[in-house]
Amino acid sequence: EIVLTQSPGTLSLSPGERATLSCRASQSVSSSFLAWYQQKRGQAPRLLIYGASSRATGIPDRFSGSGSGTDFTLTISRLEPEDFAVYYCQQYGSSPTFGQGTKVEIK
Amino acid sequence: EVQLVQSGAEVKKPGESLKISCKGSGYYFTNYWIGWVRQMPGKGLEWMGVIYPGDSDTRYSPSFQGQVTISADKSISTAFLHWSSLKASDTAMYYCARQTSGYFPFDYWGQGTLVTVSS
């Protein structure tokens, strides 16, 4: 099973700042089968990024994904008030797994 | 509009059985995988397994194999998650979600079903 480790656990930032979230895999992720989701309190997760760098339908371009192999990054270029949430990475190759999440909170 | 609508919250006792549901609409239900994801209170997401309603091909996470059963009834566009004997540790929010193919992420999610198991 591929273990995904997200860092940091919590990111404290102000609106307008840049957020950089990391997701590291215990082994190489096949064909960049890596996604990012956003989950707000009391809501279901929402797909943001798939294929490591492709934005899902309707996702603003301030969200971007990068990386390959074992190291992946989600960047939010300028935080909007609605972006404060928990973010999860997921590898969706064989036997999919999620990372433990990074909480982006208001500083 | 694609929608996944899950059944309502459940309160059960340890040892009881339970089946929760997820009804898809707005798309061809038989052509997309449906998966289940667990979120224990205050914790992260856990991938449980998926089913392809077209032929009932089902895949489980090793952590959930033998603990739950995933099924689907394509005639009513509904997927199910079943426990034969609940434990207190099954208390969690359970989400269903749609997957375009075997190697795609979940693009649409249900609203979640809260399962509480307590004596």
> For residue range A31-86, what is the model confidence (pLDDT) as tens digits?
789 999 999 999 999 999 999 999 999 999 999 999 999 999 999 999 999 999 99
> For residue range B30-79, what is the model confidence (pLDDT) as tens digits?
999 999 999 999 999 999 999 999 999 999 999 999 999 999 999 999 99
Residue B13 CB burial class (10 angstroms; 0-12, 13-18, ≥19): exposed
pLDDT surpasses 80 at B102: no
> Whole-angstrom Cα distance, residue A56 to residue B102?
17
Q: What is the mean pLDDT of residues B6-21?
A: 98
Q: What is the mean pLDDT of residues B78-107?
A: 96
pLDDT surpasses 90 at B103: no
pLDDT for the residue A24: 97
Nearest residue of A to residue B4 by CA position?
Answer: A44
Q: With CB atoms and an 8 Å threshold, state whether A44 touches B46.
A: no
Chain A residues within an 8 Å CB radius of B62: 1, 95
pLDDT for the residue B101: 84
Q: Identify which of A44, A56, A92 has the shortest CB distance to residue B103.
A: A92
> Whole-angstrom Cα distance, residue A51 to residue B101?
13
Q: With CB atoms and an 8 Å threshold, state whether A1 touches B62.
A: yes
Q: With CB atoms and an 8 Å threshold, state whether A92 touches B105.
A: yes
| Closest among B18, B30, B31 to B113, alpha carbons compared | B18
Nearest residue of B to residue A50 by CA position?
Answer: B105
Tell me if chain A has a CB within 8 Å of the CB of B114: no
> Whole-angstrom Cα distance, residue B80 to residue A91?
24
pLDDT for the residue A34: 96
pLDDT surpasses 90 at A5: yes
Give the torsion through C-alpha atoms of B63, B65, B71, B77, to 10 deg. Answer: 20
> Whole-angstrom Cα distance, residue A73 to residue A66?
5
